[in-house]
Chains A and B, each alone.
Chain A
């Protein structure tokens, strides 16, 4: 059980500062979305990679966090930050409760149930016009502000979303290295054994789903304030699958790998813009390839490949 190293954090921060110096708004905007999407992806990695439970409905938590934080702020008239926390707590409770229902199931059935949950939430976002604005969505969402200072532009939002992302990574890394993390990994291998050691595997799964839901909800809330406009589109099942792809490319049980996965998918998405709606086909193929050929994630597989080639090259030289 190694302690987490400080180097990845320093490298990340250095990279982010470098990116700020480049002065490109486009890159900053892209980086902001990477930070926001990394949170639900890391949450999903805790659930899928470390605890071994699939979810195909994670976009729902993301959407509930986004819509919930905005609605709570307007309905209750509370401060937007408080509304964010409230929304995250409510989504956490909802995720925990969902766990009661779905963790009676395993494997394909669990995938189906979570998929169903994702679809139900999406339908609600579309159909409850009075609350969500239906397919037209909600416009004019106030940007983030703190002590009278507004965070509106890409550059202003940048430190906030990346701060949240780095905190998310830090908490997740601590969790998976903690004693509870051992039980999570135990559950992913064999829940029966975990039960025989005095811990309830179902309770573990519910707790991790709750944490995972909170990660997604916080990201959703940040997304709403950053973009200033919400429609059901980004919270459909397609996004759940995309999260799955990010986690798969990252190597499932590797927090930093997942961050790479998110960045990779974001870049590929940019490249695929000309394809329009057909990009989903490429993502589907990528997911299959990642799961079949890159069990430890794209990065690790590439490294292993490079190492293998180098060894071959060295052998042929000598």
Chain B
């Protein structure tokens, strides 16, 4: 909150040319920036930008492939997380990670134990040092709970708190460790507006108390309210670093969120007209995880032979919707009809696949130690079962293998690179090839509806281009496709129709071209407005 008014602010953390590579995937490339004393810096960027990776590098959960993390002049990269905490850097977790069986007070107290350096020996007696430390921890923990406004809940089990309060407890707990630099990993995810304002209030008061804070966050309204400075990452690179106002209007940042703006040259391929016969019909679908609403009353349909794109920022509820269709998530309310049948009545995801709905999951989910051919064979099981029943699985005869070879050839014709490498392990493939294999594997079950969850994640624009072209070829072959993409720019160029999701609601829908041209889409994604997030305005306009 406090602006940098001090003439020569002290540097607390220097990130120096940090690169982090996981096998073939480079999550961070040569990232450098500094964080100053008592500053609140937000780290933003689209999904897969490397924000959490960077947080993990600073907190000691990951050792960078190269580069340094310097805390007040001392390199700390590669130290174990507990050492990093002992040096004054504390972190919270995206998934909260409250100790469910400990009470709220005990959770907070647990945060302070390591700093007291109480040994094992005094702990065997209920009197003496253990007692003194215990009482001291309890007193300080109560102060911290008071600070974040959780005093009333002190004796409740941590697991029973709603998400918003768990986040605040996570902050109180890490404050107890004595850390003066706090790394907050998506503190606003899954919170409602009231909880968010409580969180914003706590973050500003932390800043007033002199804490240095780094926030990784998707909620731009929250970011706008707490940040002194914003650092933007995209595909592992630092693309912007500056004051909130400058970053907000930076075209490079807007482009990073909406996807590459160069014309993929595929729009003109959309010649075939889709039929208006509905294949998939989702009616008033709501999905909740515990108390968090991931999807709220969504109506979506896919016509036969149509590509429908579902776009929106991270956490909008896109993946939840697709997982519900594929049978991995049980929706709270609403109906999902596919080709006249009720998909919600099916007992398991494999039954959905047998109906002809195939999911290409986010992150590909290949079997890395199996060859490409074996991965495809696993994708073929559904078709084998459909055609020959159980006998097809336990006694695959020669003619049945011919059928497999035939389908495999179709997949190879679509993605020739897979044929060249068919005996290689799937784990050795590059990101783009892995995505191709994931699509090919899903096609092996001979689906009529293909669900694609973030196929462009972590891929270079040229590769995205190639894969999207293939989707158009599939569509020409009569396949219907529901495509989930954060890279809206790319998805909207090949889609017939599109829905825009933001915080669990559909805020816009229509022909892909018109959505692409709509200036409001940027606001739906970025929602900078401090007082009223744009998503809210769009939402109220729709409902």
Contacts from A to B (Cβ < 8 Å):
1, 3-4, 171, 173-175, 177-183, 185-186, 189-190, 192-201, 207, 211
Query: How would residues 78 to 91 of chain B score, 1 for a CB under 8 Å from any chain A CB and 0 otherwise?
Result: 00111001100011
The distance from the CB of B241 to the nearest CB of chain A, in whole angstroms, is 26
Residues of A within 8 A of B91 (CB): 196
- Is the Cβ of B114 less than 8 Å from the Cβ of A183? yes
Q: Which residue on chain B has the smallest CB distance to residue A208? A: B120
Indicate which residue in A3, A174, A182, A193 contacts B106 across the interface (CB closer than 8 Å). Answer: A182
- With A196-B59, A197-B111 known to touch, is A171 a contact of B124 (CB < 8 Å)? yes
- Is the Cβ of A178 less than 8 Å from the Cβ of B134? yes
The SS class assigned to the A binding surface is helix
- Is the Cβ of A197 less than 8 Å from the Cβ of B85? yes
Query: How would residues 36 to 80 of chain B score, 1 for a CB under 8 Å from any chain A CB and 0 otherwise?
Result: 000000000000000000000001110000000000000000001
- With A3-B126, A179-B133, A185-B102 known to touch, is A193 a contact of B97 (CB < 8 Å)? yes
Residues of A within 8 A of B122 (CB): 178
A174 to B116, CA, bound (A): 18
**Chain B contact residue count (CB 8 A cutoff):** 43
A3 to B138, CA, bound (A): 13
The distance from the CB of A186 to the nearest CB of chain B, in whole angstroms, is 5
A189 to B115, CA, bound (A): 20
Q: Which residue on chain B has the smallest CB distance to residue A182? A: B110
Given contacts A182-B102, A194-B110, 18 further A-B contacts (CB under 8 A): A1-B109, A174-B130, A178-B130, A180-B118, A182-B106, A183-B110, A185-B110, A189-B99, A190-B97, A190-B99, A192-B97, A195-B60, A196-B59, A196-B82, A196-B93, A197-B174, A198-B85, A200-B80
Residues of B within 8 A of A197 (CB): 82, 85, 90, 110-111, 113-114, 173-174, 176-177
Q: Which residue on chain B has the smallest CB distance to residue A253? A: B101
A192 to B185, CA, bound (A): 14
Indicate which residue in A175, A179, A194, A195 contacts B134 across the interface (CB closer than 8 Å). Answer: A179
A186 to B111, CA, bound (A): 10
- With A196-B174, A198-B82 known to touch, is A182 a contact of B120 (CB < 8 Å)? no
Residues of B within 8 A of A171 (CB): 124-125
Residues of A within 8 A of B134 (CB): 1, 178-179
Indicate which residue in B61, B109, B178 contacts A182 across the interface (CB closer than 8 Å). Answer: B109
A171 to B130, CA, bound (A): 12
B348 close to A (CB within 8 Å): no
B272 close to A (CB within 8 Å): no
Residues of A within 8 A of B173 (CB): 197
Instruction: Give the interface centre of A173, A200, A211 by most chain B CB atoms within 10 Å.
Output: A200
Pairs of residues from A and B, 6 with the lowest C-beta to C-beta distance, nearest first? A198-B114, A198-B85, A199-B114, A178-B123, A195-B81, A182-B110
A201 to B118, CA, bound (A): 15
- With A174-B124, A179-B133 known to touch, is A192 a contact of B177 (CB < 8 Å)? no
A196 to B113, CA, bound (A): 12
The distance from the CB of A46 to the nearest CB of chain B, in whole angstroms, is 11
Instruction: Give the interface centre of B80, B93, B114, B134 by most chain A CB atoms within 10 Å.
Output: B114
The distance from the CB of A214 to the nearest CB of chain B, in whole angstroms, is 11
B100 close to A (CB within 8 Å): yes
Q: Which residue on chain A has the smallest CB distance to residue B96? A: A193
Residues of A within 8 A of B449 (CB): none
- With A195-B82, A196-B85, A200-B82 known to touch, is A179 a contact of B113 (CB < 8 Å)? yes
Residues of B within 8 A of A183 (CB): 110, 113-114
- Is the Cβ of A1 less than 8 Å from the Cβ of B138? yes
B443 close to A (CB within 8 Å): no
- Is the Cβ of B80 less than 8 Å from the Cβ of A198? no
Residues of B within 8 A of A200 (CB): 80, 82
Q: List 11 A-B contacts (CB under 8 A).
A: A174-B125, A180-B123, A182-B106, A192-B93, A193-B93, A196-B59, A196-B93, A197-B82, A198-B82, A198-B85, A198-B114
- Is the Cβ of A193 less than 8 Å from the Cβ of B80? no
The distance from the CB of B228 to the nearest CB of chain A, in whole angstroms, is 24
Residues of B within 8 A of A174 (CB): 123-126, 130
Query: How would residues 123 to 166 of chain B score, 1 for a CB under 8 Å from any chain A CB and 0 otherwise?
Result: 11110001001100110000000000000000000000000000
Indicate which residue in B80, B100, B106 contacts A195 across the interface (CB closer than 8 Å). Answer: B80
Q: Which residue on chain A has the smallest CB distance to residue B91? A: A196
